[in-house]
A = this chain, B = another copy of it.
Amino acid sequence: MRIKLTLEYDGTAYAGWQRQQNALAVQQVVEEALARLTGEAVGVTGASRTDAGVHALGQVAHFDTHSPIPPEKFAFALNTMLPADVRVSSSGPAAPDFHARFSARGKRYRYLMYDATHASALYRGLCAHSIYPLDVDRMDREAACMVGTHDFSAFAASGSTVKDTVRTITRCQVVRRQPFVVLTVEGNGFLYNMVRILAGTLMGVGSGKLAPGAVARALETGDRLALGPTAPPQGLTLMEVFYP
């Protein structure tokens, strides 16, 4: 039977979602907990290969099992075995053709920024620090240029080999929610590092280091150099994966 999991994790201690040779990934931790629970060698497929240090409040994953454990009980059983920085927030039955990654129709990400002279001690694992004050209105206007169907090749990390760089962004906005400046971006797909390059660009525009219009210019020219630096991973959280 196929089971769907919704997962929350603090990415600080992990080399991302995907299993790695020489570093601990969230996928490995979940697969090991499932193996202990079911006695099966279970492969777990995640919707998003979140990067090292990136968090998730709504990662989705699926796996197949012959275990008699009721689908909705996997969350409780797994949480007794998982470390405190990984939680299963819900579990349930999935259709046999449900695929966490390929069935997904879109995702929502959040990026938290913190603008103050000194970095935050308490929230340091959740946000990127800007020593310059951020102009949220200017950032939100810049963010709005992302919305629509565009070739986002300028937003692809260098070395990326993905061929189709056209994506549709349905929501991209910046608001101040003390003590953070919050970027919310939603779309049908994202290139590797796309949200972090966007966050770095918006922090550049918001602090006056980058001229407004950078996003539009980059979409026109495909030039990565028109954009700001890649913002650090700890500000990024995968919030939700959408399914039909």
Chain A residues proximal to chain B, CB less than 8 Å:
8-10, 55-57, 75-76, 79, 84-90, 116-122, 124, 126, 237
List 13 additional contacts besides A8-B122, A9-B122, A56-B122; criterion CB under 8 Å. Answer: A8-B118, A8-B120, A8-B121, A10-B124, A57-B122, A75-B117, A75-B118, A79-B118, A79-B119, A84-B124, A85-B121, A89-B116, A89-B118
Which residue of B has the minimal Cβ distance to A75? Answer: B118
Which residue of B has the minimal Cβ distance to A9? Answer: B121
A119 touches B10 (CB 8 A): no
- With known contacts A75-B118, A118-B75, A124–B88 Cβ distance under 8 A: no
- With known contacts A89-B116, A116-B89, A121–B84 Cβ distance under 8 A: yes
Interface centre among A118, A119, A122 (most CB of B within 10 A): A122
- The answer for the CA separation of A32 and B125 in the assembled complex, in Å, is 24
Instruction: Report which of B79, B87, B88, B119 forms a contact with A87, defined as CB distance below 8 A.
Output: B119
B89 touches A122 (CB 8 A): no
A237 touches B87 (CB 8 A): no
A55 touches B122 (CB 8 A): yes
- The answer for the CA separation of A90 and B86 in the assembled complex, in Å, is 35
Chain B residues with CB under 8 A of A120: 8, 87
Instruction: Report which of B116, B118, B122 forms a contact with A10, defined as CB distance below 8 A.
Output: B122
- The answer for the CA separation of A27 and B86 in the assembled complex, in Å, is 32
Chain B residues with CB under 8 A of A57: 122
B87 touches A10 (CB 8 A): no
Which residue of B has the minimal Cβ distance to A85? Answer: B121
- The answer for the CA separation of A237 and B120 in the assembled complex, in Å, is 14
- The answer for the CA separation of A85 and B121 in the assembled complex, in Å, is 4
CB distance from A114 to the nearest CB of B (A): 11
